[in-house]
Amino acid sequence: MNAIQFTVEPSEELQGNLRVPGDKSISHRAIMLGAIAEGVTEVTGFLAGADTLATLAAFQAMAVPIQGPQAGKVVIQGVGLQGLKAPTVPLDLGNSGTSMRLMAGLMAGQKFSVEMTGDASLSRRPMKRVTEPLAAMGADIQSSAQGTPPLRIRGNPPLKGIEYQMPMASAQVKSALLLAGLYTHATTCIVEPAPTRDHTERMLRGFGCEVKEEAGKICLRGGQRLQGHAIDVPADISSAAFFIVGACIAQRGKVRLQHVGMNPTRTGILAILRQMGADIRVYQERQVSGEPVADIEVCSSQLHGIEIPPALVPLAIDEFPALFIAAACAQGTTILTGAEELRVKESDRIQVMAEGLTQLGVVTQPTTDGIIIEGIQRFGGGKVHSHGDHRVAMAFSMAALRAQGSILIEDCANVATSFPNFVALAQQVGLKLSVQQ
């Protein structure tokens, strides 16, 4: 599987209208909350990628009737808070850290025991940030000696509500604790050091749950019942990010991205690029299923290096591979700090991106919590290794828009986890990308 390679030839044009696939974060949560709701939840715009399909399969293994996905539509027959059944085998969540961490919270409240496993990459990812606060709530949860998967969760614990001060901003930790909080007879509160994506809170409210939020403190009363309803998943801004950066750096760039999720906890990439001088315009702002949505138009831009404001880092954490490509094309120096989270994603994104940029002739200086990138006008050609990280592979694909020679990107199979039709859409708007197996 990992033998898939991308070859991208130099090109100066990226133009067209696109709708990228549905938001991965929202697609995961729609399955999870729809499964424990009462009644039917119909989801449209669902992302049928490997990660979200792993979540879907896990709930089917716990006896939740789910139809689809068929052309982005999924129908979930909710079984209620107490309706999940013990799976007969470990739940294999593939490459999906979101599935593992959020489901740890949900599984902590079940009457049955469960084991959750993943692929080699997921099996290296840290889980203590979730397992330790869940244990403080009373969960009986075990990981490897290194704090990594597999996770084994013993059923029927008496969970209690806690107030948890998160040591670092993490939407996945916050969401796991809120989901566990549904299974308590008390109130669970989480205090964030900085705002993180709030899809879980918005979606819980859509299912009829009361979630209170004030001054960075989010509180949920346990035992609330969820009611199934319709969810329209907007296009994923994390997937749009590659085309946003591509249009900025292309000689002839003009891309319009339709129906993009504009959740303010996710739009850090737009704020950062605008500070760098990007020509980005937003049209037709509207609300869909409790989430803000808009169309985004991006044109060729003269970017300049900046010191990225720390407050924007959590709001763009998944978009930094693409932003590093933008920084490498900007005039001057770009400095990122406060992003140590990037070292424990699907790969060490700071190190992997630095190595790839170096291969293409960019001067970089990785630091413990970030990177310094010296902008250049043109990349050289060369070979880069994505280390199985889908976002790294897609980011370097866009580098060809400023390259003097072809770029070979190795280990690209996991692009399917978040963006199944990336290659087709990239080719549609002018990227000269081919796939070898």
Residue 316, C-beta contacts closer than 8 angstroms, at least 6 positions apart: 268, 269, 271, 272, 323
3-class SS of residue 331: strand
Q: In terms of domains, do 115 and 246 share one?
A: no
Q: What is the pLDDT of residue 1?
A: 44
Terminal Cα-to-Cα distance of the chain (whole angstroms):
8
pLDDT digits (tens, 9 = 90+) for 157-182: 899 999 999 998 899 999 999 999 99
Q: In terms of domains, do 201 and 182 share one?
A: yes
Rounded mean pLDDT, 99-123: 96
| The last residue of a domain, from among 232, 262, 289 | 232
Q: What is the pLDDT of residue 239?
A: 95
Q: In terms of domains, do 158 and 32 share one?
A: yes
| The last residue of a domain, from among 184, 210, 232 | 232
Q: In terms of domains, do 246 and 368 share one?
A: yes
Residue 34, domain extent: 24-232
Q: What is the pLDDT of residue 143?
A: 96
Q: What is the pLDDT of residue 190?
A: 98
Q: What is the pLDDT of residue 236?
A: 94
Q: In terms of domains, do 247 and 191 share one?
A: no
Rounded mean pLDDT, 97-120: 96
pLDDT above 50: residue 417: yes
pLDDT above 80: residue 249: yes
Rounded mean pLDDT, 273-293: 96
Q: In terms of domains, do 199 and 240 share one?
A: no
Q: In terms of domains, do 262 and 336 share one?
A: yes
What is the average pLDDT value for the chain, to the nearest integer?
A: 95
Residue 245, C-beta contacts closer than 8 angstroms, at least 6 positions apart: 273, 322, 323, 325, 326, 395, 398
Q: In terms of domains, do 200 and 264 share one?
A: no
% the chain with pLDDT above 70:
100
Number of domains comprising the chain = 2
Cα dist from 89 to 62, 85, 92, 142, whole Å: 10, 12, 9, 17
| The last residue of a domain, from among 232, 247, 268 | 232
Q: In terms of domains, do 220 and 242 share one?
A: no
Retrieve residue 122's tokens. Answer: 């997921």
Q: What is the pLDDT of residue 34?
A: 98
92 noted as active-site residue: no
Q: In terms of domains, do 218 and 256 share one?
A: no
Residues 70 and 292: their CA atoms lie apart, in Å, by 25
pLDDT above 80: residue 91: yes
Active-site pick, 119, 236, 295, 318: 318
Retrieve residue 359's tokens. Answer: 């291969």
Taking the mean position of all CA atoms in its chain, how far away is CA 251? 29
Q: In terms of domains, do 9 and 53 share one?
A: no
What pLDDT band is residue 345 in, cutting at 50, 70 and 90? confident
